Structure 1
């Protein structure tokens, strides 16, 4: 367990939260994350309060088993809600493609080590004993599938040219590879923030009005890239589509260097006139005059969840050696 893993990655000041990449022994170049993966499965589960620590040990052990056994296929990281529901654990499962999800499914029947993680006794007899299932509230395990957004996706339009420049349009044959979200931004690699190196990840969701399916996606990408252009090295915003949930629900992952960076976002939207224009500009006048971006989304559908990468001892949980 490194100094970074105990939350002390700043030479003893304890000022920085270690990013999720510190959860694995894999080198950064072998990690899949929100910038280079072709699919993200977000899994959430509500922990029972009495199993505060045991649940995190299980969550991390499960994630790292997949990381080390499925290198190049899947990378899994664990996060906690920063301000939302306490003891609601999030796993972000990053995969190269949907095809690779089948590899994880096969682990459940063919990998005895993986199966053993679920059969292991994890709760002390003083608490009644038992395995992982006792740690979580029944019925709270949920999954959402996020696919990196690309122009023309789900029958939407841009300008007739951008749609034809995507690799999905240009690929021939039966093998389809979705372009990772990293292709949405011109930020250089050394400044790109993603789910493995960000201090905080804000997951924003919104429901698009069907009549503005194309225009809303253009706005979503424009708003994201405005932040990327102005706050490179401090923030990276990437856009995803909901694959199997509500139709036309979109997801932004807003990767911040630290929680304090959020104040820079607020400042940007006050001071930068070109950024402000994105939000006040009239859009889709052919569908009715006087409308901005706001009419493109269902009222009340915007929701933000801030995620802190888990590290040992977070929220007064015990360290893995303290058993």
Structure 2
């Protein structure tokens, strides 16, 4: 199984009622969604296999009724917390979350997935025993608005926010994202309140340069947190392979890249300074994710 074949994609009939080949519904990801819910939970080590299979089965089931509205992709941490899984839920609009709520209340298959005995040899139980108490958390992020230079005529009112693909001129077919990348890094940073605009402008320019310079190997999108921490921004960095991270490191030799990093972002009247002055010290953090695959673990044991 390829690294990107990590969820059961929605399936349609091969042809519609007229005999014309049916068009598959859009699979959503970080490049084309308007609202993203990032949910994570810690699996107990003794149930690491069962917990992973539950995470994949649940996402695979939900993606069918969500087809055309949302797509859920499952990840695990690489070089991070062992046995922590991440469901990244990509929506056009948060109103479509009602599909999941309806399934929770009324669907027999959902009830079977979440309640049947998955731990017959381990004392019985389902997900509630597989995961460590109190470790489930959610974060909502949306594509950063007010950046990029896309045509307003392209705006789709069915989206909560313009998708991140509007932040770059790279064609959508060439972008890497949560649906096709081998490695995804979630990088977060807390902007200083007084320099919130300057920090976002730097964040956009940095990501845009990566998209243009490392086209086909790395893609970067800018998001901001919603219903959470004020002025915390998120870059989603998508790499074709782990080796492509070295290409990002090598950008340090690029003159344009150096100019972006060295440009004055803070007015002299406020003390001057480059991007370093626009973020709260110690708040830039990376979370490295790899697609969760059935029967394997990123740790190797």
After TM superposition, the score normalised by the length of structure 1 is: 0.83
CA change 1:105–1:167 in 2 (3 A) is farther
SS of equivalent to 1:64: helix
Distance 1:116 1:147 in 2: 32
User: Which ranges of 4 or more aligned residues in structure 1 deviate by more than 4 Å?
Assistant: 165-168
User: Given the alignment, which residue of 13, 23, 26 partners 2:7?
Assistant: 23
Deviations 1:21-70 (A, max 9, x none): 44224478631111111111110000101001000110000000011122
Map of 1:163-242 to 2, 5 A cutoff? 166=152, 177-242=160-225
- Taking structure 1 as reference, are residues 48 and 22 closer, same or farther at Cα in structure 2, changes over 3 Å only? closer
Aligned match of 2:291: 309
| Match of residue 40, structure 1, among 36, 41, 63 | 36
1:114 paired to 2:110: yes
Deviation at 1:248, TM superposition (A): 0.5
Contact 1:67 1:74 in 2 (8 A): yes
Contact 1:58 1:132 in 2 (8 A): yes
Aligned residue for 1:150, secondary structure, equals coil
CA contact 1:151–1:166 (8 Å) conserved in 2: no
Contact 2:183–2:290 under 8 Å retained in 1:
yes
For the structure 1 residues 287 and 239, does the alpha-carbon distance in structure 2 shift closer, same or farther, using more than 3 Å as the test? Answer: farther
- Contact 1:42–1:90, Cα closer than 8 Å, also in 2: yes
Consecutive unaligned residues in structure 1, runs of 5 or more: 5-17, 153-157, 319-323
Instruction: Tell me the number of residue pairs that the alignment of Structure 1 and Structure 2 aligns.
Output: 288
1:54 aligns with 2:36: no
Distance 1:38 1:44, change over 3 A: same
State the SS of the aligned residue for 2:250: helix
Displacement of 1:105 in angstroms is 2.0
Alpha-carbon offset, residue 265 of structure 1: 0.4
- The RMSD of aligned alpha carbons is 2.4
Q: TM-score, normalised by structure 2?
A: 0.89
Is the contact made by 1:206 and 1:251 (CA closer than 8 Å) also made in structure 2? yes
Within the alignment, does 1:143 sit opposite 2:127 as a pair? no
How far is 1:279 from its partner?
A: 0.8
Conserved in 2, the CA contact under 8 Å of 1:150 and 1:166? no
Question: Please, which moves more after superposition, 258-267 or 100-109?
Answer: 100-109
- Distance in 1 (alpha carbons) for counterparts of 2:103 and 2:178: 24
Q: For residues 43 and 80 of structure 1, what CA distance do their matches in structure 2 show?
A: 12
Residue matched to 1:260: 243
* SS in structure 2 of the partner of residue 266 of structure 1: helix
Quote the offset at 1:191 in angstroms. 1.5
Distance (Å, rounded) in 1 between the aligned partners of 2:258 and 2:67: 42
- The CA distance in 2 between the partners of 1:61 and 1:145, in whole Å, is 23
Deviations 1:165-219 (CA, angstroms, capped at 9, x unpaired): 6579x889xx764211111111122311010100000000000100011111111
Q: Offset at 1:282?
A: 1.1
Distance 1:282 1:316 in 2: 41
> What is the CA-CA distance between 1:313 and the residue it aligns to?
2.5
Gaps spanning 5+ residues in structure 2: where?
12-23
Alignment-derived partner of residue 297 in structure 1: 279
CA distance in 2, matches of 1:58, 1:317: 19
Match of 2:21 in 1: none
